[in-house]
């Protein structure tokens, strides 16, 4: 069901425009996209090895996954990694908080949204970047992360997770650890992928091996560390 504000956006989108209006808007939009890429590249180009932590923006501080995200970030910092999040509340805030109080790099890639998303206070002042475009923000995650740890979340979390495994599967991105955190939360998804997608031969066993499933902060960080004991640690560019 459409929200009242969506009705106006739909009507505006279908309103007839002149060729000059379309061309002018699209041309200026290109410069806005470029500016977001430039700012992201300049700020993130020297941050060093970091792991991105994803999860619900709606998780409260008393949620068990909020507390686990803090611990994961703390352990990553102690292993020499920085932490990148989507910059908002919930799991993102928890991860930035864990990194901040551990004395490590706390990076936030915030997306401007009409609700739910505001930058949290635990991001390093020089490492907060705000985006209007999801696709630019995704490039920054992919380019400057040495791994993904995916805690329970909603559509946005799933979007980041599937984007990563798709780019790794298609060899458009250097392989790195993609770790789902919480067997209770994610086991059903993995079973569905095996029973339906793999069974229909729409993916193969090698594709499933991209994904790791863990249940404790120690296991999550150990999976990242084990990967980089085998491969040289380097940025994805």
* pTM for the model: 0.87
Q: Each residue of 100-130: pLDDT tens digit? A: 999 999 999 999 887 656 899 999 999 999 9
236: pLDDT confidence band, cut at 50, 70 and 90? very low
Q: Each residue of 138-184: pLDDT tens digit? A: 999 999 999 999 999 999 999 999 999 999 999 999 899 999 999 99
For 18-230, CATH number out of 3.40.50.450, 1.10.1270.20, 3.40.640.10, 3.40.50.1000 equals 3.40.50.450
* Percent residues over pLDDT 90 in the chain: 79
CB atoms within 10 A of CB 195: 10
Rounded CA-CA distance 122/86 in Å is 12
Q: Each residue of 51-110: pLDDT tens digit? A: 999 999 999 999 999 999 999 999 999 999 999 999 999 999 999 999 999 999 999 999
Rounded CA-CA distance 79/227 in Å is 13
162 class by beta-carbon count within 10 Å (0-12 exposed, 13-18 middle, 19+ buried): exposed
Q: Each residue of 22-41: pLDDT tens digit? A: 556 677 889 999 999 999 99
């Amino acid at each position: 069901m459409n929200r009242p504000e969506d009705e106006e956006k739909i009507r505006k989108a279908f309103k007839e425009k002149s060729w000059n209006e379309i061309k002018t808007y699209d041309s200026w939009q290109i410069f806005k996209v470029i500016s977001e890429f430039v700012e992201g590249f300049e700020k993130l180009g020297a941050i060093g090895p970091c792991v991105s932590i994803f999860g619900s923006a709606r998780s409260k501080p008393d949620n068990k996954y909020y507390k686990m995200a803090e611990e994961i970030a703390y352990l990553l910092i102690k292993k020499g990694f920085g932490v990148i999040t989507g910059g908002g509340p919930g799991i993102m805030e928890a991860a930035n908080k864990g990194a901040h109080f551990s004395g490590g790099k706390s990076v936030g890639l915030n997306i401007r949204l009409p609700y739910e998303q505001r930058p949290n206070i635990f991001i390093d002042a020089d490492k907060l970047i705000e985006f209007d475009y999801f696709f630019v923000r995704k490039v920054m995650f992919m380019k400057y992360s040495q791994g993904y740890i995916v805690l329970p979340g909603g559509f946005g979390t799933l979007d980041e997770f599937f984007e990563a495994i798709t780019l790794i599967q298609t060899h458009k991105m250097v392989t790195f650890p993609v770790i789902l955190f919480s067997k209770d939360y994610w086991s059903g998804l993995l079973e569905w992928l095996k029973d339906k997608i793999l069974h229909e031969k729409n993916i193969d066993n090698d594709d499933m091996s991209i994904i790791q499933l863990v249940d404790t902060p120690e296991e999550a960080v150990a999976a990242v560390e084990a990967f980089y004991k085998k491969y040289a640690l380097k940025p994805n560019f």
